[in-house]
Structure 1
């Protein structure tokens, strides 16, 4: 079976789980050095590509597997953390478009590109965020993750007749990732951990384990869902 995964902290943990199970894993990302190192460690295939760029994705298609059983759309992050504060309407527009490209269009474009290669019994998993429900402090990040969850409903409807599921794994605070770009203070971390019922931060492997389950035979009737991994920081009924 072939797994196509965009690599970061959660992506790497997910790739590692599938690679350890003997699956053929392909990882995509923009940073050639990170991809090469990860691929060498895991025995995966690396494809350097900006998955939010239609032309780059199209050019990369010949390097991607002819058959895909599991597609994990893990690219993204709060691009506001890497931008100066918006001062003009043009700045606001650019900030929103950056988040839209990173968190929603990347998943839409990658999935559309590989739609014909997805196999019956397979699954598509998008990485969402607690910010889709709680907001992200005034930026676009939470809105784009909410958009991902809504798009996933339509995606599940399109893929369901082919025996393919589509779900979003919505993450709370996950440690050991690059999400906060080294800007997370000890106080903020303590607040995020304090919001959980488990009293700890999540780990990339907490997310990877759920993705592995969603790709398993036991999860064939789970689709069009948003499944939370947040330690109870945002409980549901």
Structure 2
């Protein structure tokens, strides 16, 4: 039985393309996938020597793809480049994202476009390219998107981010419907309030930080490692009958 359970979560021989793998949630998910046996292509806008070091120390292959997702035009080239280095891509994790805070009346259209381009447009283009790639290689695939609590709520001063994350949840379901016949599952993870660069302003604000912690039943900010079990489940053979879902990892925030 123990061996059978281990096989359900074994990613040996699989290759994962993880965006935003330089730090935070993306790095934690890349490391979790590597620990389960996957080789990792890390995509980011700047070098990620720490991620490379940690994954290679785990005995897995790593290649780095530098790309500004706000300017992504040829997603097929990105996916093919990852496959050239490590083999066909079996798992795509769309984690990269940015957040910009402004009142509705002061939100510049350039800021709106930047957030939507990184958080939603690039996610669609990479998912589209990865799906074509998986079908061409006749490999069952996993696409895992990073949604947010703001896929369900409105938030304050984050209209562009909220719109993008609502879009991520809807797109996850739409892709799941179309790609299931090809053996590709599409799911999302909605992290709660995590201690990452995106939440630094909130954590540094004593009033907002206290308000947020007061609503989280578990009573603490999440850490990137809290996402590890969710990503392993959705990337592994164990989740072959799970698609179109948004899994919340939020310390109980939405239950409150």
TM-score where L is the length of structure 2: 0.81
1:179 equivalent to 2:198? Answer yes
Q: Distance in 2 between matches of 1:131 and 1:120?
A: 33
Q: Deviations over 1:175-227 (max 9, x none)?
A: 1x111355532332232222111112212111122011111222111111111
1:220 equivalent to 2:236? Answer no
Structure with bigger strand share is 1
Deviation at 1:13, TM superposition (A): 0.5
Deviation at 1:61, TM superposition (A): 4.3
Instruction: Report the equivalent of 2:176.
Output: 156
Q: Indicate how the Cα distance of structure 1 residues 136 and 102 shifts in structure 2: closer, same or farther if over 3 A, else same.
A: farther
Instruction: Report the equivalent of 2:92.
Output: 71
Instruction: Report the equivalent of 1:17.
Output: 32
Instruction: Report the equivalent of 2:167.
Output: 147
Secondary structure (helix, strand or coil) at the match of 2:247 reads strand
Among residues 106, 114, 133, which one is paired with 1:98 in the alignment? 114
Secondary structure (helix, strand or coil) at the match of 2:108 reads helix
Q: Distance in 2 between matches of 1:62 and 1:148?
A: 24
8 Å CA contact retained: 1:51, 1:110: no
1:121 equivalent to 2:112? Answer no
Q: Deviations over 1:14-47 (max 9, x none)?
A: 1111212231111100012xx2331122122111
8 Å CA contact retained: 2:176, 2:186: yes
Q: Distance in 2 between matches of 1:58 and 1:69?
A: 14
Deviation at 1:62, TM superposition (A): 4.3
Unaligned runs of 5+ residues in structure 1 are none
Q: Deviations over 1:66-120 (max 9, x none)?
A: 5111110001131x14xx76776xx532222112112111211111222222264
Deviation at 1:165, TM superposition (A): 0.7
Q: Indicate how the Cα distance of structure 1 residues 5 and 213 shifts in structure 2: closer, same or farther if over 3 A, else same.
A: same
1:199 equivalent to 2:209? Answer no
Instruction: Report the equivalent of 1:40.
Output: 53
Q: Distance in 2 between matches of 1:174 and 1:191?
A: 15
Q: Distance in 2 between matches of 1:85 and 1:195?
A: 23
Q: Distance in 1 between matches of 2:133 and 2:98?
A: 27
Matches within 5 A, 1:224-235: 224-235=244-255
1:55 equivalent to 2:77? Answer no
Instruction: Report the equivalent of 1:211.
Output: 231
Deviation at 1:59, TM superposition (A): 4.8
Q: After superposing the two structures, state which structure 1 stretch, 183-192 or 163-172, moved more.
A: 183-192
